[in-house]
């Protein structure tokens, strides 16, 4: 039986197509300059600068490059985790790393992950997550690539883990279409602004 897509799913698909086109139009220089400014903006957010354990991400093509942020967190002694992805079950596990060049294995499906010999930590040890995405809004709405990895991982940690998105200017939209299961972020950092929400009061 064919199940018709809901209006929200159709809106998400259309927005993904639009934003991917805008991202393709960015030059390498524009991505590098914006990424650096985004990392500066994110580091100025108190919950991130004060967190003892942060899960970030290894950027895929055209995602905001948060490697400068990872380097700064490691320099200040923060435990930094990167996700090990379970493609079959659409899950992920936080794995602490100390040196991204040394501790990451070869890319799989466009994503570099922590080496297989590095052990993950308990998920509840993570205090804050730097979340990738395709589109964001100022109210914390986020549109991912469609796999649901982060929404699924965060679903049972709504009151425990704070979240911040990293967004190029072209990824910010007036309103992201969100479903009931979609997790809103606590903050979104762009090169020009830090958008915070009142999700934690």
**pLDDT over threshold 80, residue 66:** yes
Whether 110 has a pLDDT exceeding 90, the answer reads no
State yes or no: pLDDT of 170 exceeds 90: yes
Average pLDDT estimate for 55-60: 92
> Whose CA is closest to 143, among 186, 88, 112, 184?
184
More confident residue, 48 or 201: 48
**Looking at residues 27-45, what average pLDDT do you find?**
97
Q: How far is CA 117 from CA 37, 74, 114, 145, in A?
A: 34, 20, 8, 28
pLDDT for 6 equals: 83
Please give the residue that has the higher pLDDT: either 76 or 106.
76
Q: What is the mean pLDDT of the chain?
A: 90
- C-alpha span between 140 and 3 (Å, rounded): 29
Q: Can you tell me the mean pLDDT for 169-184?
A: 89
CB 171 within 8 A of CB 24: no
pLDDT band per the 50, 70, 90 thresholds, residue 97: very high
Q: Is 165 helix (H, G, I), strand (E, B) or coil?
A: strand
The predicted model gives 92-105 an average pLDDT of 93
State residue 199's pLDDT score.
Answer: 59
Check residue 107 and give its pLDDT: 80
Nearest Cα to Cα of residue 196 among 31, 32, 44:
44
Which tens digits make up the pLDDT trace of 38-52?
A: 999 999 999 999 999
Q: What is the pLDDT of residues 124-153, one digit of tens each?
A: 899 999 999 999 999 999 998 877 788 888
User: pLDDT-derived band of residue 1, with 50, 70 and 90 as boundaries?
Assistant: very low
Ordered by where they begin, the domains of the chain are 7-196 (3.40.50.10420)
């Amino acid at each position: 039986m064919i199940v018709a897509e809901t209006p929200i799913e159709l809106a998400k698909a259309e927005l993904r197509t639009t934003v991917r086109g805008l991202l393709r139009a960015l030059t390498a220089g524009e991505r590098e300059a914006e990424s650096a400014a985004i990392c500066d903006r994110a580091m100025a957010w108190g919950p991130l600068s004060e967190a003892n354990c942060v899960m970030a991400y290894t950027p895929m093509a055209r995602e905001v490059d948060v490697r400068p942020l990872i380097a700064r967190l490691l320099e200040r002694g923060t435990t930094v985790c990167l996700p090990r992805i379970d493609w079959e079950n659409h899950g992920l596990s936080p794995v602490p790393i100390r040196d991204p060049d040394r501790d990451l294995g070869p890319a799989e499906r466009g994503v570099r992950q922590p080496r297989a010999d590095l052990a993950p930590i308990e998920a509840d040890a993570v205090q804050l997550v730097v979340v990738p995405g395709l589109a964001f809004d100022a109210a914390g709405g986020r549109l991912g690539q469609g796999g649901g990895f982060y929404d699924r991982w965060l679903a049972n940690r709504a009151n425990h883990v704070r979240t911040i998105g990293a967004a190029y200017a072209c990824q910010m939209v007036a309103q992201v279409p969100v479903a009931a299961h979609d997790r809103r972020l606590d903050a979104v950092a762009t090169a020009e602004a830090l958008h915070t929400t009142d999700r934690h009061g």
